[in-house]
């Protein structure tokens, strides 16, 4: 108790210095909390977006499709596998998809297209393309229906109700189908608006001669928290060498790597803050020790054990760090709250519009998704670093020779 | 057992290429309950001898045994323990801890010894009363006069009932009246509690009250007088 009491009073001696150092630590931590919340929010949105449109929390595909992207590689016995998946993970939405590349031709021109053939009512449950339709309507039961990006529609000079011909390769032959533009969407991303469209899954199956089979069965969960467990269950249940079961990170390696890279940038930022904390604390505590050499000498002279003296110096750092961390967490949570409720409008910085990263839409309105576990981790790390930074001055204090200290003023 | 045994003690300081002898073959024995004044002019080696006896400084050669502990052979932790358990220090410049109150400074040694709070409080308060500082226990050093600070320093040195109190020029910064009062306080403690005192001083008032006067000249004992 004496050690803590003395440490507290020592901190109060040079209140301005203590406050400045404490503020630097606290502000750094608060910044870290807010940055982490925003980064995790952005990542969560991108995962949601990428997972919903391009994969699922996990995907079941014909083995080799991920590498070769051949339309002929399908999930064998897709309807049975789908039913099995729905039994295994009843809370999930299992979405069948066929992916194909082709050429769309209109009377005014032609353009290459990347198509997802989908079950519209299921697709609408897991992704939001139907909400981005700006002309006409999203797919319904019409087997000739086509929704396509606005730029692609402009390239083909077609509007809602116009006819286009889709040509695609099927088992070495070129097949074609007449489609009718049912809706035009605007996702805000050039790659999607200029080269992407959706058609009903049966149309693609007929065109490619797939029967009832599909390229992918994507499994969408409520959140990605249980994805690991579900993945293991599904992998164990579908132990068929003609099938590959991938986590979204494997199905969307670009997105996964982009997030890892972004996390690495955040960790570099954390490291920079950590260095500032360490240097700041080492400086403050060292100054405080060197200013009190005489007094420390008195404590040693009256019999205080050097180890206890070192503990007192460490206690000063612990208290300083404790107050700064408490303040930093409080301020960080306070700053994070509006970002979680109302979000941050990136459009205000970029002049509006949409952006794309790793092939995924980057929404302009981003919401913080702060993990309290991460806040606890950052707080613990900051506190640990603060105490660690005081080790050097504490060791110096413990090695002082009382007689030399008593001669110093 | 003698409280202090010093045999053939030498201490040399190096100042650049020069070697300055501070003590040159000092031998001394101090018995329990003695009130000894180490007298001598500045530079005679009084403070050096006191610091070596207190384990704050190491001799160049010779033997120092304090309360049965051979300081040359003891580990730093043992010397630290000796200082905590058996010795008390009164410094010329008071050397109180500025962030602690008079009471907390007084109880400091007791606290470091691990004395329970109730006993600590009783002893510290009794000691503050003994040195005439009752009612001032909550004042910080900067709220006390020089004489009052030195009384706190004495109370701190005595509170844990050490076997030996080493006082370096305890009256140097005090006015004559305060100095006399403080010396009387220490003499009373010596008589009533049997505490052994060793003063390093050139204050004649101390010499008058000491029962033994050891005069040092140029690092040697020139006179050892028992009254």
Give the pLDDT confidence score for residue A279 in this predicted structure: 83
pLDDT value, residue A358? 66
Report which of B19, B116, B105 is spatially closest to residue B60, judged by C-alpha positions. B19
Query: Which bin fits A257, alpha (ψ -120 to 50), beta or left (φ > 0)?
Result: alpha
pLDDT, tens digit (0-9, with 9 covering 90-100), for A234-289: 888 888 778 999 988 888 888 888 888 988 988 888 788 778 777 877 887 788 78
Residues of chain B with Cβ-Cβ distance to A13 below 8 Å are 98-99
Largest Cα–Cα distance of chain B, in whole Å? 55
Q: What is the mean pLDDT of residues A112-139?
A: 92
pTM of the model: 0.70
- Quick one: pLDDT band at residue A115, thresholds 50, 70, 90? very high
**pLDDT, averaged across chain A:** 88
A157-164 average pLDDT score: 95
Q: Given this model, what pLDDT does residue B62 score?
A: 95
User: How many other CB atoms are there within 10 angstroms of residue A351's CB atom?
Assistant: 6
Please provide the average confidence, as pLDDT, over all residues in chain B.
Answer: 90
Q: What whole-number distance in Å separates Cα of residue A187 and Cα of residue A205?
A: 26
B15 phi/psi in degrees, rounded to 5: -120, 95
The Cα B198–Cα B38 span in angstroms is 7
The arithmetic mean of pLDDT across residues B49-62, rounded, is 94
Q: What pLDDT band is residue B103 in, cutting at 50, 70 and 90? A: very high
Task: Give the pLDDT mean for A82-86.
Answer: 93
**Residue among B56, B98, B156 whose CB faces A403 most closely:** B56
Query: Per-residue confidence at A359, pLDDT binned at 50, 70, 90?
Result: low
- Residue A224: predicted pLDDT: 67
Please determine, for residue B77, whether its predicted confidence score (pLDDT) is greater than 70.
yes
pLDDT given for residue B154 in this prediction: 87
- Phi, psi of A133, deg, nearest 5: -70, 125
Average of per-residue pLDDT across B145-174:
88
pLDDT for residue B203 is more than 80: yes
End-to-end Cα separation, chain A, in angstroms: 27
Q: What average pLDDT does range A338-347 have in this prediction? A: 86
- Cβ-defined contact of A303 to B81 (cutoff 8 Å): yes
Tokens 């000491």 belong to residue: B210
Q: What is the band of A106 on the pLDDT scale with cuts at 50, 70, 90?
A: very high
Is the pLDDT higher at A70 or at A199? A199
Cβ contact B91–A10 (<8 Å)? no
pLDDT higher than threshold 70 for residue A363: yes
* Higher-confidence position of A357 and A165: A165
Does B132 have pLDDT greater than 80? yes
Q: Looking at per-residue confidence, does B198 or A277 come out higher?
A: B198
User: What are residue A134's phi and psi, to 5 degrees?
Assistant: -105, -20
- Checking if the pLDDT of B88 tops 80, the result is yes
What does the alpha-carbon distance between residue A355 and residue A380 come to, in Å, rounded to a whole number? 36
Q: B91–A298: do the CB atoms touch at under 8 Å?
A: yes
> Residue B227's pLDDT is what?
79
- More confident site: B172 or B7: B7
Q: Which residues of B touch A6 (CB under 8 A)?
A: 97, 99-100
Q: Looking at mean pLDDT, say which of A49-53, A371-375, A403-407, B175-179 comes out highest.
A: A371-375
Specify whether the backbone of A157 is left (phi greater than 0), alpha (psi in -120 to 50) or beta. Answer: left
Q: State which H helix or E strand residue A274 sits in.
A: helix A253-291
Is B69 in the A-facing interface, judged by CB distances under 8 Å? no
* Interchain contact, B112 vs A303, CB within 8 Å: yes
Distance CA B199, CA B202 (A): 9
**Interface contact B51, partner A, CB < 8 A:** yes
User: Is the CB of B54 inside 8 Å of chain A's CB atoms?
Assistant: yes
> What average pLDDT does the segment A69-84 reach?
90
Given a cut of 70, whether residue A134 has pLDDT beyond it is yes
pLDDT digits (tens, 9 = 90+) for A28-58: 899 889 988 998 888 888 887 777 777 888 8
Domains annotated on chain B, with CATH? 4-96+163-226 (3.40.50.300)
- Band of the pLDDT at A110, cuts 50, 70, 90? very high
- For the cut 90, the answer to whether the pLDDT of residue A290 exceeds it is no
Contact A273, A32 (CB under 8 A): yes
Give the Cβ contact number of residue A232 at 10 Å. 12
Tokens of A6: 């003395």
In this structure, the number of other CB atoms found within 10 A of the CB of residue B175 comes to 12
Question: DSSP character for B43?
Answer: T
Residue A355 has pLDDT above 80, yes or no: no
Residue labelled with tokens 């074609």? A176
Q: Choose the closest CB to A303 out of B97, B100, B109.
A: B109
pLDDT higher than 80, residue A348: no
Domain layout of chain A by residue ranges = 2-49+256-406, 57-248
Q: Is the pLDDT of residue A409 over 70?
A: no
């Amino acid at each position: 108790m004496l050690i803590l009491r003395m440490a507290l009073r020592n901190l109060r001696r040079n209140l301005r210095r203590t406050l400045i150092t404490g503020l630097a630590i606290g502000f750094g931590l608060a910044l870290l909390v807010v940055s982490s919340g925003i980064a995790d929010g952005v990542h969560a949105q991108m995962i949601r977006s990428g997972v919903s449109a391009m994969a699922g929390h996990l995907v079941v595909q014909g083995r080799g499709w991920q590498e070769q992207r051949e339309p002929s590689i399908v999930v064998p016995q897709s309807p049975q596998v789908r039913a099995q998946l729905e039994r295994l993970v009843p809370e999930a939405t299992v979405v069948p998809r066929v992916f194909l590349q082709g050429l769309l031709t209109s009377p005014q021109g032609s353009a290459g297209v990347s198509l997802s053939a989908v079950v519209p009512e299921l697709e609408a449950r897991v992704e939001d393309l139907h909400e981005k339709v700006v002309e006409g309507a999203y797919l319904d039961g019409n087997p000739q229906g086509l929704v396509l990006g606005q730029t692609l529609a402009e390239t083909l000079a077609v509007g809602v109700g116009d006819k286009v011909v889709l040509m695609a390769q099927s088992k070495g032959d070129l097949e074609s189908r007449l489609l009718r533009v049912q809706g035009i969407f605007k996702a805000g991303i050039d790659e999607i608006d200029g080269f992407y469209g959706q058609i009903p899954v049966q149309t693609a199956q007929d065109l490619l001669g797939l029967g009832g089979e599909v390229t992918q069965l994507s499994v969408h969960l409520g959140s990605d928290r249980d994805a690991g467990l579900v993945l293991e269950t599904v992998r164990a249940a579908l132990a068929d060498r003609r099938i590959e079961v991938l986590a979204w990170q494997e199905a969307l390696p670009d997105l996964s790597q982009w997030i890892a890279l972004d996390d690495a940038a955040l960790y570099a930022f954390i490291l920079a803050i950590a260095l500032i904390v360490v240097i700041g604390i080492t400086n403050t505590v060292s100054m405080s020790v060197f200013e009190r050499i005489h007094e420390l000498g008195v404590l040693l002279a009256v019999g205080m054990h050097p180890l206890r003296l070192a503990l007192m110096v460490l206690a000063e750092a612990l208290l300083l760090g404790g107050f700064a961390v408490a303040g930093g967490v409080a301020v960080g949570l306070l700053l994070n709250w509006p970002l979680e409720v109302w979000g941050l409008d990136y459009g205000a910085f970029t002049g509006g519009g949409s952006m794309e990263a790793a092939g995924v839409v980057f929404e302009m309105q981003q919401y913080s998704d702060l993990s309290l576990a991460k806040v606890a981790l950052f707080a613990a790390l900051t506190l640990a670093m603060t105490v660690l930074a005081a080790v050097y001055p504490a060791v110096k204090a413990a090695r002082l020779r009382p007689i030399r200290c008593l001669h110093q003023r | 057992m003698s409280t202090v045994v010093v045999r053939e003690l030498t201490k040399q300081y190096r100042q650049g290429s020069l070697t300055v002898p501070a003590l040159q073959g000092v031998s001394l024995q101090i018995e329990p309950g003695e009130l000894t004044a180490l007298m001598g002019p500045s530079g005679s080696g009084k403070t050096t001898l006191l610091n070596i006896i207190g384990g704050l400084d190491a001799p160049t050669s010779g033997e120092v045994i304090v309360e049965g502990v051979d300081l040359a052979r003891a580990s730093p932790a043992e010397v630290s323990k000796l200082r905590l358990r058996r010795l008390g220090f009164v410094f010329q410049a008071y050397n109180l801890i500025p962030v602690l109150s008079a009471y907390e400074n007084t109880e400091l040694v007791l606290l470091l010894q691990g004395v329970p709070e109730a006993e600590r409080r009783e002893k510290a308060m009794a000691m503050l009363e003994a040195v005439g500082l009752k009612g001032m226990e909550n004042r910080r050093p900067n709220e006390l006069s020089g004489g009052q600070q030195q009384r706190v320093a004495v109370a701190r040195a005595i509170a844990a009932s050490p076997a030996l109190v080493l006082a370096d020029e305890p009256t140097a910064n005090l006015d004559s009246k305060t100095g006399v009062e403080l010396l009387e306080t220490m003499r009373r403690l010596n008589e009533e509690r049997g505490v052994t005192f060793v003063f390093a001083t050139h204050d004649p008032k101390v010499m008058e009250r000491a029962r033994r006067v050891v005069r040092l000249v140029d690092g040697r004992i020139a006179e050892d007088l028992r009254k």
